[in-house]
Structures are given as C-alpha cells and as structure tokens.
Structure 1
Amino acid sequence: MGQTKVSLLIHINVLSIQKSSKSKNDMLKGDIKSTLINMAIPMIFGMIMLMTFGIVDTFFVSLIGTNELAAISFTFPITFLIISFNIGLGIGTSAVIGKYLGSGDDSNAKVLATGSLMLVFILVGMLSIAGYFTIDFTFTLLGASATLLPLIYDYMSIWYIAGVLLAIPMVGNAVLRASGDTKTPSIIMAAGGGINVVLTPVLIFGYLGFPALGIKGAAIATCIAWTVCVVWIIYFLAVKRELMEPRLLSWSEFVPASKGVLTIGLPAAGSNMLTPISAAIVTSIVAGYGAHAVAAWGVGNRIESLASIVVLALSMSLPPLISQNFGANQFSRIHTAYRMCIKFILVWQFLMFVILVILAPYIASVFAAEESVAQQITLFLLIVPIGYGFQGIIILTNSAFNAMHKPLAAMYLSLIRLFICYVPITALGSYLYGLQGLFWACVVANALAAGVSYYWFNREIGLQKQADKENYTRVNDVKRL
C-alpha cells in the first residue's frame, strides 16, 4: 500500500513536470498564435468573473441611492491604486521567474516565488495601514463632501483589509502564468468573483437572516471572497504544483529574492499606480460637475473595465511568452507576438465600441434611477469607448516592456501617457467644452499616447534584434579564428 502511494505521488509529480515542460516548450518553440490563444482564453473567463465583482458592487450599491453610488465612485482611484501596486509586483514576479524558466534555472524561480509572496504581503499591508489612517484626508482632497465621507469610511475601512488579501492571489497567479499556466489563475479569479457576486446582495440588503449592512456589506463580501482565494493559491503553489517553498524564507534568502522582484516590480508598480493617481485628479475635475457626474463617471469606468477584459487578459498572457523568449534571446518571436496582439486588439475594441453604442441607453437605465445620471452615463458610453483600442495598445506595450526587463521604459511611457497627454488634455477639454469635452479629451489623449507607445516598442525591439545579430556574428568570427 505504501509503495502504491509513493508510485502515485511520483506519477503525479512527473505529470506536473511534463506539463510545465510542455508549457515552456510551447512558449519558446510553439506556434505563437495558438500559444497566445490557449493562454488568453482561460484568462478571459477568469477576468470576466473577477471584473464582475466590481460591476455587481456598483449595481447593488446604486439600488441604495445616488449618494452611495457617488461614494463608491470616489473610492475607485484609491482601490485601483492598491490593485495597481499588486499588479506591478506581479509583473516583476512574472518577468523574473519567466526569464529564469526560459534559461532553465527552475530552482531560483521557486525561491523567488516564495520571496515575492512574502514581499507583497508586507508592502501592501503597510500601504493599507497608511490608507486606513488617512481616509478623511484623502477623500476630502479628492473632492468628497461631508455627506459622503461617512459612507466612504464604511466601505474603505474594510476594503483596506481586502487589499492585503487580494495581493497574495494576484502575485501567486503571476507565478503560475510565468510557468505557462493561465487556466488555474482563471479558475481562482472566477471563484473569487463568484463568491463576491453571491455574498454582495446578501450582505448589503440583509437576505437569508443576515443584517442589512449597506455599502459596508459590499466590502465585507470582497474580503470573504479573497480570503478563500488566499488559502487556495498558497495550497496550490506550495503543495500541489511545488512552485514555491512551503516555508518562510530566511533573511539571507528573502533579500536577494526581493531585490530581483523589486528591480522590475517597483517601477512597474509605480507605473501602474500613476493610472489611479491621474484618475483621482480627473475624478476631482468631474466632481466639479456634482455628485450625479461623479456617479456617472464611476459607472462608466466600471463598464470600461468590463469592456477591456480581453486587453487585460492579453496583457497577462503576452508577458510570460515575451519573458521566456527574452531569456532565450528569441527577439523575432517577441516582435511577431506583439504585432499580432496589437492588430487583434484594435479590431476587438472597435467591436466593443459598437456594442456599447447600441447598449448605452439600456446600461444607463440599469445603473441610474435618476434621469440626469442616466444621461451622463449614456454620453460617456457614446464617446469614451472610441479610444479603447488606443488604450489597448498602451496597456500591451507597457506589459511588453516590463516583460523584456525594461521597467523604466514602461514607467516613462506611463508618465507620458498620463501627465503629458491624459491629465492636461482632459483638463483643457473640461475647461473649454464642459463634461462632454472631458470625455472627448480622453479619446484624444489615448490616441496620442498609443502612437508614442507603438513607435517606441518597435524601435526598441529593432535595436535588440540588431544587437543580437551583431553578437551572433562576433561569436561566429571568434569560432572561425
């Protein structure tokens, strides 16, 4: 019996290794289009469920009242700030582990995975504590009125705990994606979104014998959902797939592992966090048009997240392929994959724009009880989605730069997009033409930044290919001598 168990465990481990090796082989030698499709499809379904919790929160909170909807809309830039920090550290983790796997160094990848999870827990914990003690100051600065501050406190005082819980599955999923597994992360994300969808109305309105908690219930539902995901991802990484050490690292192990992640992760996190910072600035501009405008802006941004699911799925599927081929010096495959994704995303996001134009009045009626809010939601959906394809180019280029271990290029690109294009142009549009001018300015800003992004990456990959060619020539010349 004991021998049977040992044989079974060996068989499971062999299958796991074979699966990992196959994923690595697909990314380095397999058909690029098929590999991207196989990686992206599970991510799309997972992202749909993950994004659902934001839409569900917004919908059920909108049923409470306009003030509650405005309050949760004010929280978007701050919650996105924490999430963006998590994403940045996940990018650093995925890029470094992907390069290790591409070059065949699996043992370092395992230690780094453990260190990255420890690191994100510590850093996001510190960020959330700071956020908790500055709730009133932060949201007053964003333009929230005294009426809205108690509602914002009810939500954010709990959500900051969820931010820490969210960090671990996000970085853990980055480890899995770096190894070529996008199916498991999608299942974990889907589970988190599904739990949240079920619990949110129960806790907001007090169904099934639970007390009615209002806006606070939405945050508690998110906490519970991510707690389940934390347990799941740690078990999967440490026990089932053995992609991390099943223990805490010593200080001598933790420091170099952290440095490897932070080299790319900090610039990536900083780059990602620029988006919610700029969003907070624009939200403060929108606040000048009143609570109805903020409510509409918040709904529009939630719909934007849902409409960008395929872009986000590709932005998480493309980097592992790029990182592993970067480790193997296969720059032509990187260039082919990038251009393929850009062409697809332009077509796909145009279709999203057409769909949103058709559905705009119906979406507005679902999320808004008041006519003025519905009109502004409709206006948002008729204009802003025109720029979603351009936005997709920026997101994919940013991910590609990070995957090629060029986090500073990604960060500079974000600075150009947000603080040279997005914020100044939207402020100018608002000043000249009001809220409608602000919406059109979003499109113009994304178009300008997309042009810079596309040119910059193609120039960079061309230089890399040329350098690799020259290095290959030098090596051959030395061999001939």
Structure 2
Amino acid sequence: MPQVFRITSIVLFIKILLPEGPIQFNMPVPNLTTGNIQRAILRMTFLLIPGMISLVILNLTDTFFVARLGTDPLTGISFTFPIIFLVGQASLGLGTGLTASAAAAIGRKRHHLARAQSSIAITLTFTLTAFLIPILILIDRPILKLLGANNLPLELAESYMTVWFIGIPFFVTTIIANAAIRATGDTWSSSIPMIVAAIINVVLDPLLIFGLLFFPKLGITGAAVATVFSRFIALLIALHFLYHKSKLLGRPPLIIKHIIYNLRQILHPAIPTTIMKTVLALSISIVTAIIASFSEDAVAAYGVGARFQAFFALPTVALSIVILAFASQNHAAKQHHRVKIAFRFTHQLAIAWGIFSLILLNLFAVPLTNLFTQDPEVHRALIDFLRIAPLGYAQLALVIIISNELVGIGRPYAGATIGLLKHVFLYALLIYLGGLLLGIPGLFWGMVATNTIIAIIAAIYLRLTFKPSTTPQKNILMFHEDDPTNP
C-alpha cells in the first residue's frame, strides 16, 4: 500500500511547475451553515455554471468540427458518446461520494479528515485509471460493435477512443479533484480548470482536425488529441487550487486503518451513486443501440441532440452539485431547517429552468440543427429531438436534484434507487415502445414519458423520506468518536 501512495510525490511536485500561491482568480468561499440560504445557493450555482458550460463545450466543439468532415465522422463520434458518458458518470459517482463525505467533515469542523479523504481519492484514482488504459484500448472495438457501429463509422470511432483512453487518468482525476474543491463551497475554483480546458480545445480542434498552419491533418483523431491535452492542463490547475487554496491535498495517510476508515467514509455515498450513474450510462448505451436499430441517421441526430440536452441541463447539474455540498455540510451540522428551505428553493429553480429550456429549444430548433448537419434525414430527426425531448426537461431536472439531495442527507441508497428504477425498468423500454408506435419521433416521446413518471416518484419519495423534525442521527453521514484519524 505505501508503494501505491508514492505517486503523491508527483502530485506534490506540481506546485513547483506552477506559481507559488493560488492563481489569482480568487473569490471568498461562503460559510454554508450560516447566512442567507437562497443567496448562497444562487451564488455558488452561478459561479459553477461557467465551468459546467465549458465542460459541455469540450464535447460540443469536437462534434461541431468533426461534423464538418461529413456524416460518417459525425456518426462515428456519436458512437463514442455512450462510452465517454459511462466513464464520466462513474467518475461523477465517486466525486459525489467525495464531496458528500468531505463536506460532512467540514460541516463538523474536521478539516483534517476532508484533506485525508481528498488525498487518498486523488492518488488512487490516478493510479488505477493509468493501469486500466491498455485494457480499455483492447476492448474498445468490441464495445463499439455492440453499440451498433460498423464500416467506416466504426473505424473512425475506434481511432478517436484509442487516443481518448490514453488521457483517461487526466479526465477522471480532474473530476475527483474538482469534487473535493466543491466540498468547501468554492465552486469558482472548480470552474476555472474547465474554462481553461474549453479554451484550449476550441483553439486546438480546428488546427489538428483540418491541419491548419503547421499542424498535421489528423481528422477525428485530432479532436481526441486536443481533448486529452486540454484535460491534462485542467488537471494541473485543479490540483494547484486543491493544494494551495482549499488545503485539501497532501500526502495520504500511510497507516492502513486510517486509509480504510477514510475510504469507508467516501464509499458510503459513492458506491450506490456510482452504481446508479454507471447503470445510467449503460442504459444510454442500450438506448443508442435501440436507436441504431431504427436508423443510423437517428443515431447521428441523437448524438448531437444529447449534447444539446447536456448543455441545457448544465444549470440543473450545477444546482444539484451545489445542493449536495450545502445539504451535506448543514445536515452534518444538524441545521435541518436550512436543508428544508434549500430543497424547496432548488425545486422551484429546477422547474423554472426546465420550462425556459423547452421554450427556447422549440423556438430555435431549426437554426440550431442547421449548424450541425445538412443531411435531410439527420436534419429531420434532430429537429424532432429538439422539439419533443425538452418537454421532459423540467421533470429530468427534479430527478437529478432530488437524487443528490438524498445523498446530501445521508441516504445515498434512496437516491440510487430512483436512478435504478428509471434506467433499469423504464428508460429503454419506453423508448423502444415509442419507436415501435411512432417511429423516430416516438423514441423521443419515450424519453419524455420516462422523465415524467420518475419525477413524480422522486418527489413523493423525498417528501416521505426527509422529515427534519424526526430525522434520526444515524442517517447522517458522520464521523464516529472512535475515528482513528482524530488528532
């Protein structure tokens, strides 16, 4: 075990590569257990949204420039979306566990535990993902075939994913590092790495894809190279903030019982959340295969439409991340009344944003579609997606937020149950039935039906589960008096 943690020396040497002290984009970190609740939530959300937008721009940029190469490259990169989504969701599940456990430690004023958990999570994440690279490259092609890729789109998708897998340690570790930063309530510092990565990707994509200036023309592979390099820079910046500003990065504890104790604190919320998010990603893969059975043009439309959906879900995702940190700190500090007020406020915001997204996408469905494709079949399918799928965005927003709220109050298995109910029993089934009944538009109506049913169940579940006046102490993610790391 000590040998595994020696890699932390590499992480700590990063401070030599960057300027001493935090990069000067500093903003004060709020105290989440006191002060105005609505103002704190809005402030944290607004500061996180630029980073979330930048994260989606990374994917949209690749799709936008690759689409200029033709329908086959666009279809090829669309087949990579489920795999990338799977890795991202699994990473976010681990990040959610780290945010919840570290925020609970901070809420109980035990910063040394938050630092130990962050350091362990980052070290293990980077090490394990580095070992996984050759395995992932080996199984890349069979997975793409299972998703329905063949012929030229298969070759193009494989060339993209081979490069992308080489950068997987940068991708995953950045997510974990940002999750640790957000546990403190500092959403701005977690946004900066993604903003910088998006800028780098926007600049490098056209240069490497089309071979502009003195760069080689790499096509779809160039998009992957640009993404990997931008993620590497993002990781360096995130680790810098974590070490210098948040003070949550240092040498991990080398005592076995300390490691086990801290891992248990992280994994308590992380395991069910990761399972749920992984099943979600697998469900997306199944849905992609179902759509491919109807039409490859529909796959291309779904690949672009899913990225639009991800873009418009950004405020919701940002809000769910904020409420996770807010609920974890306040619930651990026994400020249950603040948690109840925050829950009601976030639900109102989620519904309002869902309605706004629906109106906007319906108004601009045609011009947005024109930006990405002129192929008549793909064009028609994408317009259907942008006009039908947003009917379920408000419901989807509630599901995303309520799942994280349940994790924040120490009930991660309840939050995971909602996600599993959606993605195991309903999502693929209703989409398939919709496709059989109504053709390609029916696929998207199936998405709306699924989100509506699950939103109703989630709202009822939270209402029955969270009762501030009777919440038992054992349900709070907490640190026991026999904590072996207590100084």
What is the alpha-carbon distance in structure 2 between the residues aligned to residue 251 and residue 207 of structure 1?
Answer: 53
Do 1:162 and 1:223's aligned partners in 2 also have CA atoms closer than 8 Å?
yes
Gaps of 5+ in 1: 1-11, 472-481
Deviations 1:401-454 (A, max 9, x none): 122222211221111111222111111111222111111111011000000111
Q: After TM superposition, give the deviation of residue 457 of structure 1 in Å.
A: 1.0
Aligned residue in 1 for 2:187? 182
CA distance 1:170–1:212, shift in 2 (3 Å): same
Gaps of 5+ in 2: 1-20, 476-487
Counting matched residue pairs gives 451
Deviations 1:270-289 (A, max 9, x none): 11111111111111011012
Aligned residue in 1 for 2:205? 200
Aligned residue in 2 for 1:242? 247
CA distance 1:66–1:318, shift in 2 (3 Å): same
Q: Which amino acid aligns with 1:309?
A: L
Q: Of 429, 452, 466, which residue of structure 1 is paired with 2:470? A: 466
Q: Secondary structure at the match of 1:459?
A: helix
Aligned residue in 1 for 2:160? 155
Larger Rg: 1
Q: Of 428, 444, 448, which residue of structure 2 is paired with 1:443? A: 448
Aligned residue in 2 for 1:431? 436
Aligned residue in 2 for 1:372? 377
What is the alpha-carbon distance in structure 1 between the residues aligned to residue 129 and residue 432 of structure 2?
Answer: 31
User: In the alignment, is residue 421 of structure 1 matched against residue 416 of structure 2?
Assistant: no
What is the alpha-carbon distance in structure 1 between the residues aligned to residue 70 and residue 405 of structure 2?
Answer: 42
Q: Which amino acid aligns with 2:456?
A: G
TM-score by length of 2: 0.89
CA distance 1:381–1:188, shift in 2 (3 Å): same
Do 1:89 and 1:120's aligned partners in 2 also have CA atoms closer than 8 Å?
no
What is the alpha-carbon distance in structure 2 between the residues aligned to residue 306 and residue 234 of structure 1?
Answer: 26
Q: Secondary structure at the match of 1:29?
A: coil
User: In the alignment, is residue 37 of structure 1 matched against residue 53 of structure 2?
Assistant: no
Q: Of 294, 319, 325, which residue of structure 2 is paired with 1:320? A: 325
User: In the alignment, is residue 124 of structure 1 matched against residue 132 of structure 2?
Assistant: no
Deviations 1:49-106 (A, max 9, x none): 1211111111111100111111111111110110111111110100001101101111
Q: After TM superposition, give the deviation of residue 124 of structure 1 in Å.
A: 3.4
Deviations 1:17-46 (A, max 9, x none): x955xx23xx11211100001100011111
What is the alpha-carbon distance in structure 2 between the residues aligned to residue 202 and residue 389 of structure 1?
Answer: 38
What is the alpha-carbon distance in structure 1 between the residues aligned to residue 394 and residue 245 of structure 2?
Answer: 39
Q: Which amino acid aligns with 2:178?
A: N
Aligned residue in 1 for 2:3? none
CA distance 1:106–1:248, shift in 2 (3 Å): closer
What is the alpha-carbon distance in structure 2 between the residues aligned to residue 254 and residue 161 of structure 1?
Answer: 28
CA distance 1:250–1:468, shift in 2 (3 Å): closer
Q: Secondary structure at the match of 2:470?
A: helix
Identity across the alignment (%): 31
Aligned residue in 2 for 1:6? none
Deviations 1:220-252 (A, max 9, x none): 11111011111112222223442221x354252
Aligned residue in 1 for 2:346? 341
Q: After TM superposition, give the deviation of residue 209 of structure 1 in Å.
A: 0.7
Do 2:280 and 2:420's aligned partners in 1 also have CA atoms closer than 8 Å?
no
CA distance 1:240–1:104, shift in 2 (3 Å): closer
Q: After TM superposition, give the deviation of residue 187 of structure 1 in Å.
A: 1.4
What is the alpha-carbon distance in structure 2 between the residues aligned to residue 124 and residue 448 of structure 1?
Answer: 36
Give matches, 1:60-79, under 5 Å. 60-79=65-84
Aligned residue in 2 for 1:300? 305
How well do the aligned residues superpose, as a CA RMSD in angstroms?
Answer: 2.1
Aligned residue in 2 for 1:262? 267
User: In the alignment, is residue 402 of structure 1 matched against residue 439 of structure 2?
Assistant: no
Q: After TM superposition, give the deviation of residue 148 of structure 1 in Å.
A: 2.0
Q: After TM superposition, give the deviation of residue 260 of structure 1 in Å.
A: 2.0
Deviations 1:82-140 (A, max 9, x none): 01111111101000011011011111111111011112223434554432211111111
Deviations 1:326-381 (A, max 9, x none): 10122221121112111111111111111111111111111012111111110110
Do 1:85 and 1:269's aligned partners in 2 also have CA atoms closer than 8 Å?
yes
TM-score by length of 1: 0.90
